[in-house]
Structure 1
Amino acid sequence: MRITENLLNKQALKDIQYVLKRYSDLSSQLTSGKKVRYPSDNAAVATRISNLDSRIREIERYKTNVEMAKNYVNMYDSSIQEISTVFLRIKELAVRGSNGSLNNDDRMAISEELNKINTHLVSIANTQISGNYIFGGAQNNSPVVSDDFKILTPSEANLRQKISIGSQEVVYGLTVYDVFVTDSGASAFGIINRLSQAIGSGTSEAIQQELGNIDEIQSKALNSLAKVGGTQRLLDMTSNRMEEFNIFSTEFLSNEADADIAQVIMDLSIQQSVLQAALQAAGNIIPPTLADFL
């Protein structure tokens, strides 16, 4: 095949354009720190980067939800442990109050302490996180128990809070009915109130009846505490798993998206030499014009 001067000129210009394009790409990587800035740079890599970035943002949302749930569960744990301690004290007072040899002043002192304990339990039941009542179930924007020991959360709001992590649902919430109400529907606040009145009046039969209710409500609180412990472990494992995935994905994304600056600088230096050689070769091929002699 006959190689014409025009063909040589076109090939020389094509070589220069290729080198300039490569030089421009490397300069862009150096200034941006990224291998790919636009999908047109490398469609396959751009798609992988986009998918990874979306997945990392999704994991961050899940992590936020898990941390929020852990805050609630930790608060449940400390609240129920305090409740369990309070119930032990109530049983001590009930046993003392059932002693028929107590005088009226002794009975009234026990009754008064029980009233104070009941008020303290109300404050625990109305515990809040960021303005939300943790035992409020589906109605967590208003107090759970009133100052006169009445449960304000309706039974239809007895729904436990949960979070979604992909296709998995984790139930982490507890309601006032899980911790402060017996299976027969008696509230801890009513039990303590009746116990206080029974001790104040010296009614032994009523004291024994309420002692049985205290045992039941204490058992329910301990069962709730065990559930909280299981939920804590599940959330911790989930959080650790997501953290590991996040680290792996972030490293993988960096490998895909971030430019190796040292390598880019070296490649730029090489391309500068290649460009100079291409321009010199083209100068030898392309014939001079009148402008070269002016």
Structure 2
Amino acid sequence: MRITSQYVTNSMIRYVQTNLSNLAISQEQIATTKRVNRPSDDPNILSPLLAIKGNLAYNEQYSRNLDDGLAYLDVSDSTMGSMGDVLKKAYEYAEQAANDTYSSDQRKAVAVQIDKLIDQMVDFGNAAVGSKYVFAGKENSNPPFKRITDADGKECIIFMGDTEKVEREVAAHTSYPINATSAGFGVDGLGNPVPEGAFGWARDDAMQTISGVTGQVLYKEGGADGDFSGLFKELFELKNALNDDSDPDQQQKIEVSIGDLQEVMDRVLQHRVAVGSRYNQFEDMKKQLLNQNISLEGTMSTLEDADMSKLSILVAQQMLTYQASLAVGTNMLKTSLLDYLR
């Protein structure tokens, strides 16, 4: 084989380029702290690496869903706690007003306080997380509860949300509701009332328009027995009993309200316990996600992270090799016919 000067020059350039390329790869790994910066760096780990990154991306979304659910549940829990406090206050007012020593004026003064508690309950029903109302079901862009008076002067509580479950996906193919059931409407196929929500139940599940407000009637003053149940019904009936001093059974009705309020407090507490259990479940799942992410990130680090101590030594060696190849090449290019004629 004939070795020409052009061959030697091309070989020298190729070796210099190879050494420079190796040095550039190592310097990139030092800069990124990753030994794998593109699929071609190590095709063998591409599949498991992509799977891990996919799991981490899903977990990030699940974590956001859990945070959203925890915010919903936290507001629901604290609101129902406040509802329980208001019902307890109404219960105490009823006990005081049931006393024989209470005059008509004193009972009417208590009725004014009960009326204010009803307004508070409406406000609680319109609790929100950001722009979403937690007791409105999926129709949660507007306040769901409103207190109005119809054309006959009868007071009503209108519900303008729905009773659908608001769910969040918190694991693969696993979703849980994050809202408490606010109200129940209608009966099932056997004629039994559907489960009562935290705020009550109404037999009629049809949408109605009263005083320009369209929704489902959760309570209407003067309704027939069995048409309504729940906290609004009991608070209104207590208020009406306190105001009706002409009724010979006034004291008895107030005493009945005491027992009814206790039942309502128990039902609200049941809903709050369910919300609290779901909150604890979401917190546990959040911790599990965190632990899973730590494990996945550790595995990913093992697969793609560079050994910085070894890499530093390698870069020094490659730098020396590159500089040596440059020096040799420079000396070779300096050689000419005159060097041989000396």
* Aligned match of 1:153: 160
SS of alignment partner, residue 112 of structure 2:
helix
TM-score (norm 2): 0.72
Map 1:203-282; keep pairs closer than 5 Å. 203-275=250-322
Deviation of 1:77 (Å): 1.6
| Structure 2 contact 133–140 (Cα < 8 Å) conserved | yes
SS of alignment partner, residue 23 of structure 1:
helix
Deviation of 1:242 (Å): 0.5
| Structure 1 contact 36–45 (Cα < 8 Å) conserved | no
What do the CA deviations read for 1:94-115 (whole angstroms, capped 9, x no partner)?
2222334421211111101101
Deviation of 1:20 (Å): 4.5
Q: For 1:194, which of 237, 240, 252 is the aligned residue? A: 237
For the residues of structure 2 that align with 1:263 and 1:220, how far apart are their CA atoms?
66
* Aligned match of 1:102: 102
What do the CA deviations read for 1:191-217 (whole angstroms, capped 9, x no partner)?
212210111114234334433432332
Shift in CA distance, 290/231, structure 1 to aligned 2, threshold 3 Å = closer
Shift in CA distance, 33/289, structure 1 to aligned 2, threshold 3 Å = closer
Note if 1:88 corresponds to 2:88: yes
* Aligned match of 1:168: 174
Deviation of 1:129 (Å): 0.9
Amino acid at match of 1:52: I
* Aligned match of 1:180: 199
| Structure 1 contact 84–222 (Cα < 8 Å) conserved | yes
SS of alignment partner, residue 176 of structure 2:
strand
- Worse-superposed segment, 175-184 or 272-281: 272-281
* Aligned match of 2:126: 126
Amino acid at match of 2:274: K
* Aligned match of 1:57: 57
For the residues of structure 2 that align with 1:289 and 1:44, how far apart are their CA atoms?
42
What do the CA deviations read for 1:130-150 (whole angstroms, capped 9, x no partner)?
011111112111112113351
SS of alignment partner, residue 257 of structure 2:
helix
- Worse-superposed segment, 209-218 or 66-75: 209-218
Structure 2: gaps of 5 or more residues = 149-155, 184-196, 203-225
Note if 1:115 corresponds to 2:115: yes
Shift in CA distance, 17/61, structure 1 to aligned 2, threshold 3 Å = same
SS of alignment partner, residue 72 of structure 1:
helix
| Structure 1 contact 91–214 (Cα < 8 Å) conserved | yes
For the residues of structure 2 that align with 1:210 and 1:15, how far apart are their CA atoms?
96
Shift in CA distance, 59/198, structure 1 to aligned 2, threshold 3 Å = same
* Aligned match of 2:187: none
For the residues of structure 2 that align with 1:106 and 1:280, how far apart are their CA atoms?
107
Structure 1: gaps of 5 or more residues = none
Map 1:8-87; keep pairs closer than 5 Å. 19-87=19-87
Deviation of 1:276 (Å): 5.9
SS of alignment partner, residue 175 of structure 2:
strand
How many aligned positions are there?
285
| Structure 2 contact 147–158 (Cα < 8 Å) conserved | no
For the residues of structure 2 that align with 1:289 and 1:230, how far apart are their CA atoms?
81
SS of alignment partner, residue 102 of structure 1:
coil
Deviation of 1:261 (Å): 3.5
- Worse-superposed segment, 15-24 or 186-195: 15-24
- Worse-superposed segment, 57-66 or 144-153: 144-153
Deviation of 1:21 (Å): 4.1
Deviation of 1:151 (Å): 3.0
| Structure 1 contact 36–46 (Cα < 8 Å) conserved | no
SS of alignment partner, residue 37 of structure 2:
coil
| Structure 1 contact 144–176 (Cα < 8 Å) conserved | no
For the residues of structure 1 that align with 2:13 and 2:2, how far apart are their CA atoms?
12
SS of alignment partner, residue 168 of structure 2:
strand
Deviation of 1:88 (Å): 1.5
For the residues of structure 2 that align with 1:289 and 1:78, how far apart are their CA atoms?
83
For the residues of structure 2 that align with 1:52 and 1:107, how far apart are their CA atoms?
68
Deviation of 1:253 (Å): 2.5
